[in-house]
A and B are shown apart, each in its own frame.
Chain A
Amino acid sequence: MIRLFKVKEKQKEEAGNANGRGPLKKQSAGELRLHKDISELNLPKSCTISFPNGKDDLMNFEVSIKPDEGYYMGGKFLFTFNVSATYPHEAPKVKCKTKVYHPNIDLEGNICLNILREDWKPVLNINTIVYGLYHLLTEPNHEDPLNQEAAAVLRDNPKAFKSNVRTAIGGGRVGDTYFARCI
């Protein structure tokens, strides 16, 4: 039990006793956990991370992935991460900034990756997500489509899909959509 009536004396004391401590900036538990994740990052050479707001804002960062195999080999894809103070209770919000022709990424950059939404667990970390994204680029799958047309082409005609991807990442039109060059 707490001896609350010390506050009585304390209040009297404080009247004459200016507290010299400056305002303290707090760090949320989420920020600390993210600090751990970032300091332990172990990314393959094909992935680079950057911090647009400098070294003291780890909550917003970008990861660029340049797959060295698969359909998207040679392309460079930028993902933004936004991490909330309740991380890792809540998954980071990840978007793909590079417009990409991909069955599981739509043209607004929404990503269908299970660990970003329904299968997120606090034991997962930033490294897991980056590997998940890398995997999504090397192994696109037509079963969880966000870009339905791309998914249909991948399912029915992988050769045409491959050529569409090459067109898109080289800078060009697939159907009605123009994709900027990202090689």
Chain B
Amino acid sequence: MSLKGRRRFFVVVVTYLCVFSLYGMFFGYPVSPAKPTEIYDFVIEDKRYSSLPYIHETIYTNGKGFLAVATIRTISAPNSAFSAAFERLDSYAEDYIKEQYGVEVSIEEDSRDEAFRIAGHTGVKFTYSVTKQMAIGFPPFETVQDIQLAELGAVAWFCNVDFESVILIYVTPLYFDDEHALALLSDQVFSMVEEVECH
């Protein structure tokens, strides 16, 4: 290789090393975690899930409802990418529940909104119904019915002002709809989801 060729090779290597280092620093830069404005009396578990890319995870639970907020350092992410991920969430969640708790439930997509307004941004929102087959009545008159146990929801959007993507996953049981005090806990989960801010 000629001197000119070697010099050019060196410049290219150094240039790309600089570019990759800068990308590394960008993806490793701590996020400003997204959080709901009102947290009621939910128990909070806060942790760094990963360093590269930097992912911060906060879990809010009240014994009945559950909300997980993940803030991820990303470059601009289109809503179609979030939708593609959420399209696989039902089967993933079914397998997860079966593995973790040994419970067979069926999770099916209920609705999707690919222009969901949240925190001043347009994101995507998917909702799923969590159902389980249960025997109702006593033998020999019992019947097997699909009972909806909970609503699972997934919301995601890209916070352009921080270059972060926010993903919310919530689960709120529905079987206590007729009990006001318990229904209130469920309403609190929905309220928290609607009031999550980028930082």
Q: Do A and B bind each other?
A: no
B interface residues, Cβ below 8 angstroms from A? none
Give A contacts to B, CB under 8 Å: none
